[in-house]
Chains A and B, each alone.
Chain A
Amino acid sequence: MFKLLTASMLLLPTTLFAAVGPEDFSVSYSFKLIPALIVLGTFVLYLLIGLFSRATSPSDYWVAGRGIGPIGNGAAIASDWMSAASFMGVAGLLYLRGWFGLGYILGWTGGYVLLLCLFAAPLRRFGKFTIAEFLGDRYDSHGVRLVTATVTIIIAVTYAVAQFKGMGLVCGWVFGIDYKHSVLFAAGITVIYLLFSGMTGVTRNQQLQYVILITAFAVPLWFLIRNAGGSGLFPPLEYGSILSGLMEGKVSPSAGGQLLGEELAGLRQLFLPWGSGGDIYSFLALVFTLMVGTAGLPHILVRFYTVQSENVARSSVVWGLFFIGLLYWASPVYAVIGRYWNPLGGQSVADMIILSAPEQAQLGPIFLGYLAAGALAAGISTVAALLMAAASAVAHDWYSTVLHPGCSEKEQLVIGRVFTVVVCVFVVVIALNPPALIAQIVAMAFAVAGATIFPALVLAIWDSGSNRYGALAGMIWGLSMTLVAMVGWMARIPLFAEGGLLSATSSALVITPLALLINIAVSRLTSDKVSEACLDHSDIILRRLHRLPERVNVAKID
């Protein structure tokens, strides 16, 4: 491994763009009455819905009783998905990186095709609670179960840090408090919400939250595009002229109307493929990482346990991706309009462009308040799903299955709730000093999912030769390498920084194929060490995953 590292240091691309600079967490410092009322109003609504659909049994608490149809489940997938990263982060990255930022859109939508083809139906056929449970059962190994549960928690923590950063920025903007206090405030309301609702309430709310966040995200666009000179029929089809105008230096009158010289060259360059410092390797690596990450994300995968049938599981992916696609059609509009009003902004405004662009375009306080409520809805619904996944990893996979088998359902619920609070505290501590842009932090969580859960899941379902030793070796490799990359990013080692060969946001292009190979190779080498009982156990599960007849009925397949 060391040799590989030194070799790759030599091959390091020279393009290192957008060094991590100081971020401006204070956008405009004042208490905004109307936005504040709107934000608080939506929150009270969530709480009421949560209270009226309280969880009574663990099955209700974790997977919402399995009574959800394809459109409802699609909306729930989309709203789990549409985090602060999609709402604020993607627009921010598109603002900062121009064309290169589109890699986030391509990766985050394309991953669903993988998910659908390889995982959706088999996971529904398996039909239990968590991904750790699935992998633990398939590989018949508590080791695999514990590692998967740990990975789930690491992903949830990383991902949630990004959400709290976004929610903190929004709360700070609405209530006029500083970043640190607003992160604490956001965390407080999230924990209250979670503890009151449980998964049933969270799922009900998610459908509402999707409506709020998609309308909050979409409706202002009509006004923004008109203020920027468009006709306002369908903004995602109209920003093209503003975009090509930007490439010729045409900006808003308040920003000077027409850029010249270096400023013009800079703006034009931003929207060319490699003009913002990336290269084809880092683009493909980013896209690949986000795709395998999407397909390996525990809190998305868990959605497939909550549907009635595998048909519903499949069609809910189509619906989910459709809803997500709608949002990603709108993100570039914010970025482009943000450039139009603020052509020369840098990293300090990127994550807030979603609010600062409308503010500069003089949108009224009601719209701004609704936008803020949408961003918070995005954050809350994602954090809810993440903390739920992490809490169930602990209560269900660690505690009730491995550490304390046969504990009561009530005990499980208590452990889950206590852990929700513990994780939340931990996340807040990190979010107070966020290591990168929102979308980048999220991409790191994707790298972890894509390098650990994705390979283990692919082989669990599609390779009967893969066994517990292979799975453990592959997952430990993936987890340790992606964690090293994250630490390396924060320590600003070029290999792991943006544009590096093993960039923390895009490391899966190298690490995931190796994790697959390690899993396959170790499984083959240790095939004689696996007990007959264990093989029989895996066999039963594989037959169920692929809907093959049980062994008693047919002696041999084919």
Chain B
Amino acid sequence: MSERVTINLFRPQGERLRQEVAVIRIVLFLWALIAFGLPLFIWLCGLGDPQGFGASWLTRMRIFGGFPLHYWLIAQGGTIAFVLLCKLYTELLARALRKIERPWHAEAGQGGDDV
């Protein structure tokens, strides 16, 4: 078995994969924070609403000329954050790959260009 590669997202082997997975971890952590942390935060803040509709300081606060904060955070904040995260991923990966040597650079034909 030792001849074949072992790929495991949680135990990456080899310098290149380790670097790539490190970048993936950072980006996916931030991703989960926004995708699930943000709604959970709005939910937690709204637990005190006696009617159960989730009203809180977030829903009372107005930003950017009238947006209720809880609405803006999901409607626009999330979108901006995700675009930035994608950009962050490409930047971090480019930097990580620049750092390590590129022994397989000349791999032919398969779109195997390097950063």
Give chain A's interface residues, CB within 8 Å of chain B: 99, 102-103, 105-107, 109-110, 112-114, 116-118, 124-125, 127, 236-238, 240-245, 247, 269, 271-275, 280, 283-284, 287-288, 291, 308-311, 314-315, 317-318, 321-322, 325, 328-329, 332, 458, 461-465, 535-536, 539, 542-544, 546-549, 551, 555-558
Contact = CB atoms under 8 A, between A and B. Distances in A.
A546 B18 CA distance: 11
13 contacts: A109-B83, A112-B82, A116-B89, A125-B111, A237-B64, A241-B66, A273-B46, A273-B59, A274-B52, A318-B83, A464-B4, A542-B5, A557-B14
A244 B62 contact: yes
A43 B64 CA distance: 40
Contacts of A321: 82-83, 86
Given A243-B68, A272-B53, A274-B52, 16 more contacts: A99-B70, A103-B39, A103-B74, A110-B31, A110-B78, A112-B82, A114-B28, A236-B76, A272-B54, A272-B55, A273-B70, A280-B40, A287-B39, A310-B112, A546-B17, A549-B104
Nearest to B36: A284
A547 B16 contact: yes
B7 A463 contact: yes
A114 B31 contact: yes
A105 B79 contact: yes
Contacts, number: 198
B17 to A, nearest CB: 6
B95 interface: no
B112 to A, nearest CB: 6
B24 A105 contact: no
Contacts of B40: 280, 284
Contacts of B113: 309-311
Interface of B: 2-9, 13-14, 16-17, 23-24, 27-28, 31, 34-36, 38-40, 42-43, 46, 49, 51-55, 59, 62-68, 70-72, 74-76, 78-80, 82-83, 85-87, 89-90, 93, 103-104, 107, 110-113, 115
Given A102-B75, A539-B5, A548-B5, A118 B39 contact: no
A113 B82 contact: yes
A539 B4 contact: yes
A315 B93 CA distance: 12
Contacts of A125: 110-112
Contacts of B89: 113, 116-117, 314
A105 B28 CA distance: 18
Contacts of B17: 546, 548
B56 to A, nearest CB: 9
Given A125-B111, A240-B62, A284-B39, A117 B24 contact: yes
The 3 closest A-B pairs by CB, nearest first: A273-B54, A241-B66, A240-B66
A546 to B, nearest CB: 6
B7 A464 contact: yes
Nearest to B67: A240
A105 B78 CA distance: 9
A557 B27 CA distance: 26
Interface centre among B14, B24, B62, B83, by most A CB within 10 Å?
A: B83
A374 to B, nearest CB: 20
